Amino acid sequence: MKDKVDDLDHYSADQFALQLTPNGNTLLHVAAEFGSSDCVRAILSKCPSLLRRANTDGDTPIHVAVAREHFAVANLLLNFAKSEEGGGAAAVREMLRARNHDGDTTLHLAARYDFWGFFLVNLFTEEDPGLDHGPNKAGETPLYLYVERGLFVEDLSQMLKTCTPLEYGSPGGKTALHTAVIRHKRKAMLHIYSYRLLLSHVHMCLPLTFSCKIGPTHME
């Protein structure tokens, strides 16, 4: 790995900017994909403008890092964005609110791929409480994805407390509360209900009526 980092020393900022894969990945995308923190640091030191560069799928390096579950690299990218060289608070907001061509933000991807949940979801919501929580092109909000996966209720509570405005919808017109009912997540239901989510109808059923309709089940 040290040899690979040393090789990067020979590149100028312009060379870093011009090196692209067929789908538009920069060297920073590639380093993020493989989870190489050392290479990420070396690239950012030479060409910080790559931090928010998107590929042909609209993915920025932090999208790639999160989707590949390289959370140390995602944290490194975020910390660099906070620095003066990285652009500071405005850069953090831009990076975390960026959507790829599927309409996913980093928060969508964290809810989908971070098994432990508490790391990235809490990180993003605390870094930018005004983060866009709207649906992606599939109609999935980060909250829906989080509940659908049945991740940690404590982190669901943190998301509900710190994210404003928060959207609750999901594909098919169901809310995250409907999803909690379907997935038999009693604690998630109670957390969501306590924060007064909008209880929109699906098949003319409110979530609690919907629970009765699908019948008695074991709730976790």
pLDDT above 90: residue 26: yes
What is each CA distance from 219 to 27, 190, 197, in whole angstroms? 47, 12, 20
51 has pLDDT over 70: yes
CA pair distance 42, 56, nearest whole angstrom: 24
- Tokens standing for residue 182: 């379907």
- Please state whether the peptide bond connecting residue 48 to the residue before it is cis, i.e. omega within 30 degrees of 0: no
Query: Which range has the worst mean pLDDT, 69-73, 150-154, 186-190, 196-200?
Result: 196-200
Q: What domains can be seen in the chain, in order of their start residue?
A: 1-101 (1.25.40.20), 117-220 (1.25.40.20)
Residue 147 has pLDDT above 90, yes or no: no
Q: Could you give the 3-state DSSP secondary structure of residue 175?
A: strand
106 alpha carbon, distance to own chain's centre: 3
- pLDDT over 70 (residue 97): yes
* pLDDT exceeds 80 at position 95: yes
Closest C-alpha among 152, 190, 197 to residue 174? 197
Determine the average pLDDT of the residues in 169-189.
Answer: 50
High-pLDDT (> 70) share of the chain, %? 59
Calpha distance 175→130 (Å, rounded): 20
Quick one: what percent of the chain has pLDDT higher than 90? 39
Q: Is the pLDDT of residue 161 over 50?
A: yes
Mean pLDDT over the full length of the chain: 75
Tell which residue, 19, 109, 103, 11, has the closest CA to residue 62. 109
Whether the pLDDT of residue 175 is over 60: the answer is no
Q: E strands along 94-150, which residues?
A: none
Whole-model pTM: value is: 0.74
Taking a C-beta distance cutoff of 8 angstroms, is the pair 78, 40 a contact?
A: no
